[in-house]
Amino acid sequence: AQTVTQSQPEMSVQEAETVTLSCTYDTSENNYYLFWYKQPPSRQMILVIRQEAYKQQNATENRFSVNFQKAAKSFSLKISDSQLGDTAMYFCAFMKPLSGGYQKVTFGTGTKLQVIP
């Protein structure tokens, strides 16, 4: 079974600064995907960024980028130029595609990020 660990329950960052959220996972699989989801106070889960395990290049989406270390099973999220709207819970997720089109997703326990003005 896969496990996803987010060791930072809460973090804070000054507006316009950079912050890194950590995530480690445990798996024996080779074919998988990793995601970061954002859950603002409105509670809707929003996809932030996605990484395919077979790709060595780290994914980037505007101010969001990841540091994917496959051998170390680490998948951290870097938020540059933090904005007040980045205040949210951030969940790391591991996804394994299965036969028949099904996917098994394992979520971490989340990191609560507060952006301070």
- The contact set with other proteins (CB under 8 A) reads 4, 9, 33, 35, 37, 42-47, 50, 52, 91, 95, 97-98, 100-103, 105-110
Angle at 56 between CA 106 and CA 110, to 5 degrees: 30
Q: Distance between CA 20 and CA 117 in Å, rounded? A: 18
In the complex with other proteins, which residue's Cβ is closer, 39 or 58? Answer: 39
Least distance (Å) between residue 27 CB and other proteins:
16
In the complex with other proteins, which residue's Cβ is closer, 43 or 56? Answer: 43
Residue among 70, 116, 87, 71 nearest 21 (CA) = 87
Least distance (Å) between residue 101 CB and other proteins:
5
Least distance (Å) between residue 75 CB and other proteins:
14
Least distance (Å) between residue 62 CB and other proteins:
17
In the complex with other proteins, which residue's Cβ is closer, 58 or 106? Answer: 106
Residue among 17, 42, 32, 44 nearest 93 (CA) = 32
In the complex with other proteins, which residue's Cβ is closer, 82 or 91? Answer: 91
> 101-106 long-range contacts, Cβ below 8 Å, gap at least 24?
104/2, 106/1, 106/2, 106/3, 106/4, 106/25
